[in-house]
Amino acid sequence: MKGFKFSGIHAGIKKNNQKDLGLIYCDKPAVAAALFTRNKVIAAPVILCKEKIKSGLCQAVLVNSGNANCFTGQKGIEDAKICSKLTANTLGIAEELVFVSSTGVIGAPLPMDKFETGIPDVAAALNENRTDDFANAILTTDTHNKIVQKTAKIHGKEFSIMGIAKGSGMIRPDMATMLAYVVTDVDINAKELKTALLAANEKSFNRITIDGDTSTNDTLLALANAASQVKINDLESKKLFQSLLDQVCFELASMVVKDGEGATKLVKIIVKGASTKEDAFKTCETIAHSNLVKTAIYGEDPNWGRITAAAGRSGADVDPEKIDLFFDDQALVLKGLWQGGDAEKKTALIMKKDEIEITLDLNLGEETDFFLFCDFSENYVKINAEYRS
């Protein structure tokens, strides 16, 4: 990516030898836009970055894994500021242009000695080809890194968007839970970038869930450095940029759900025929968050009653005699009636796939929405029971 460098090292923040300190650096201040957690328990780095983003500019992002720097009081905020200042001094840039993010265990203070020695090392390792190192350094319970890059042309000029994310647990649409960084070489102002980021988020990270929990550290940050000289300033360029940004965010969001803690299946639930947009969203959300639905998916059991029951308690307008339910293109329920044993056997075969699409048609209106979610296995319990050990 033109004008951006990345790095990731093991600084000793984690107990093992995995990378735990990452850095993104732009060769000049970049236009910035961000979204943050809606949780009322907010980590120190989020508090700090909420203030810094008001300038609309950012040049470096320091990210650590292994420690969330949350519920750490005033000391946590001061430690986040020290990390920002150390990074700025090392890079020779203004402190207000340095953002910090943290992810990991809540409650423990940052091991500041690890940052004092690690920040010079992670800065020295910066390179335009070390996106993998950065992506690995921000992981917690993830099983692999998550990177998506797309390229397109506007008026004959090429531009790119790259997204890097972490997320595996504590995922729900409250912007959703993860750290995600999007870098692009287009020329766009902060207001337009924020508008595009909000729209992309609504169709991606705000439509995923793993366990229904919302983190304290959620950050979605976008940086644009204008290195491609592609201006996003007319209807055609805005439409193409939005389309590409939507694709990057959706693919990252899908990767997060697919890598859900203990997950074995990626599921898309589509609710159509709702009488209002709110009803479509509520129905999708309730089904996607249902532990009974998620365990049935894991067991490859076409227990459709769990899905219709979740729809019925969602608060949406639902008429059980009008419901149609499909797994991929296999009808399991039509007009509220089970389609029999053969249909259920065919559905059970579909449920053996790694990726499944479920469509619930309420037949009450024209509104549609969707969610991405995963199944719920015993490994989810095991991973979280052992997380701090």
> Helical H runs in 101-207?
112-124, 131-137, 190-202
Which pLDDT tens digit goes with each residue over 337-352?
999 999 999 999 999 9
**Cα within 13 Å of Cα(384), Cβ side:** 15
| Pick from 12, 243, 282, 279: nearest CA to 122 | 12
Q: Please tell me whether residues 237 and 215 are part of one structural domain.
A: yes
- Give the dihedral sign, CA 191/195/196/197: positive
Q: What is the DSSP-derived secondary structure letter of residue 389?
A: -
Q: Please tell me whether residues 92 and 229 are part of one structural domain.
A: yes
What mean pLDDT is predicted for residues 103-127? Answer: 96
Judged by average pLDDT, the poorest of 197-206, 270-279, 356-365 is 197-206
CB contact at 8 A, 203 and 294: no
Residue 262 has pLDDT above 70, yes or no: no
Q: How many residues does the chain have?
A: 389
What mean pLDDT is predicted for residues 236-241? Answer: 96
Q: What is the DSSP-derived secondary structure letter of residue 110?
A: P
What mean pLDDT is predicted for residues 132-153? Answer: 93
Q: Please tell me whether residues 164 and 202 are part of one structural domain.
A: yes
Chain centre to alpha carbon of residue 174? 10
Cα–Cα distance, 213 to 220 (Å, whole number): 17
pLDDT for position 1: 85
Band the pLDDT of 144: cuts 50, 70, 90: confident
Cα–Cα distance, 147 to 165 (Å, whole number): 7
Q: Which residues 6+ apart lie within 8 Å of 139 measured at CB?
A: 18, 19, 65, 145, 166, 168
Q: Please tell me whether residues 277 and 233 are part of one structural domain.
A: no
Residue 152 has pLDDT above 60, yes or no: yes
**Residue holding tokens 């719920």?**
376
Q: Please tell me whether residues 318 and 353 are part of one structural domain.
A: yes
Tokens of 291: 């532990």
| Pick from 215, 135, 204: nearest CA to 171 | 215
pLDDT for position 215: 66
Q: Please tell me whether residues 175 and 50 are part of one structural domain.
A: yes
Band the pLDDT of 15: cuts 50, 70, 90: confident
> Helix, strand or coil for residue 199?
helix
Band the pLDDT of 389: cuts 50, 70, 90: very low
> Helix, strand or coil for residue 77?
helix
pLDDT for position 4: 98
Residue 221 has pLDDT above 90, yes or no: yes
Residue 171 has pLDDT above 90, yes or no: no
What mean pLDDT is predicted for residues 172-191? Answer: 82
Cα–Cα distance, 179 to 191 (Å, whole number): 21
Q: Please tell me whether residues 75 and 8 are part of one structural domain.
A: yes
Sheet holding 367-374, edge to edge: 208-209, 367-374, 266-274, 355-361, 324-327, 330-334, 337-338
**Residue holding tokens 């907010």?**
42
Residue 175 has pLDDT above 80, yes or no: no
Cα–Cα distance, 215 to 141 (Å, whole number): 14
Q: Which residues 6+ apart lie within 8 Å of 198 measured at CB?
A: 35
Element (H, E) at 244: helix 235-258
Share of the chain above pLDDT 90, in %: 80
CATH code of the domain in which 284 resides: 3.10.20.340
Q: Please tell me whether residues 208 and 321 are part of one structural domain.
A: no
Q: Please tell me whether residues 253 and 306 are part of one structural domain.
A: no
3-state helix vs strand vs coil in the chain, percent to 5: 35, 30, 35
What mean pLDDT is predicted for residues 205-233? Answer: 86
Question: 231, 258, 285: which is the final residue of a domain?
Answer: 258
pLDDT for position 320: 96
Band the pLDDT of 176: cuts 50, 70, 90: very low
| Average pLDDT over the chain, rounded to an integer | 92
Catalytic residue at 283? no
Which pLDDT tens digit goes with each residue over 16-67?
889 999 999 999 999 999 999 878 888 999 999 999 999 999 999 999 999 9
Judged by average pLDDT, the poorest of 35-49, 191-205, 277-291, 314-328 is 35-49
Chain centre to alpha carbon of residue 264? 18
Residue 374 has pLDDT above 50, yes or no: yes
Residue 318 has pLDDT above 50, yes or no: yes
Q: How many domains does the chain have?
A: 2
The interaxial angle of helices 277-289 and 304-312, nearest 10 deg, is: 130
Q: Please tell me whether residues 209 and 65 are part of one structural domain.
A: yes
Q: Please tell me whether residues 289 and 253 are part of one structural domain.
A: no
pLDDT for position 167: 76
Query: pTM for this structure?
Result: 0.89
Q: Please tell me whether residues 232 and 176 are part of one structural domain.
A: yes
CATH code of the domain in which 48 resides: 3.60.70.12
| Pick from 304, 308, 295, 307: nearest CA to 374 | 295
Question: 258, 290, 311: which is the final residue of a domain?
Answer: 258
| Pick from 41, 319, 33, 7: nearest CA to 199 | 33
What mean pLDDT is predicted for residues 140-147? Answer: 86
Tokens of 26: 């732009």
Question: 226, 258, 290: which is the final residue of a domain?
Answer: 258
What mean pLDDT is predicted for residues 329-340? Answer: 97
Q: By residue range, what is the domain housing residue 277?
A: 266-385
| Residue in 141, 177, 216, 359 annotated catalytic | 177
Which pLDDT tens digit goes with each residue over 84-96?
999 999 999 999 9
Q: Which residues 6+ apart lie within 8 Å of 128 measured at CB?
A: 1, 4, 5, 6
Q: Which residues 6+ apart lie within 8 Å of 130 measured at CB?
A: 5, 6, 7, 8
